[in-house]
Amino acid sequence: MSLSPSMTFFDSKQTTRLLARLASAGVIPTPILEPATNQTATLSGKTFVITGALPGVSRDHAKAMILSAGGKVVGSVSTKTNYLLAGSDAGSKLAKANDIGVPVIDFLTLQTMLGNTPQPQPSVSRPRP
């Protein structure tokens, strides 16, 4: 059995030293997100709005996660929005989502929807009628 070129590259001592030097300089590798395929399109047809400060991840990264799973990210909440991804300090978008009945999820819930984090159980809040 032969190793793929990427396995050979990442298993080499030179690469390990290079990655260690990059890490000590503050460079954090980010995985390349592939475009959605039929097999990975878990959010296909779903529209998201992102607001607030997400824990440990930028909004751009959350957007890339949604897009890579076939979802769509828009800038404002409407009745066509399927989910509002809300972090801390969410403002008027959160209020509007609650007013029009858009489900509000947190980043943990998004990860669970993507199959990344099964535990602990996520929270989904729905506005009260």
**Residue pLDDT tens, the chain, 129 long:** 445 555 566 667 887 788 778 778 877 666 655 555 544 578 999 999 999 998 888 899 999 999 989 999 999 999 999 999 999 988 899 999 999 999 999 998 998 898 875 444 445 555 555
Domains of the chain: 1-30 (no CATH), 47-125 (3.40.50.10190)
Q: Residue 42: what pLDDT?
A: 85
**Taking the model in full, what pTM does it have?**
0.62
Asked whether 85 and 121 are in contact (CB, 8 A), the reply is no
Q: Residue 25: what pLDDT?
A: 82
3-state SS string for 8-40: HHHHCHHHHHHHHHHHHCCCCCCCCCCCCCCCC
Q: Residue 12: what pLDDT?
A: 74
Where helices occur in the chain by DSSP H, the ranges are 5-11, 13-24, 59-68, 92-100, 107-113
Q: Residue 95: what pLDDT?
A: 94
Beta bridge partners of 42: none
Q: Residue 128: what pLDDT?
A: 56
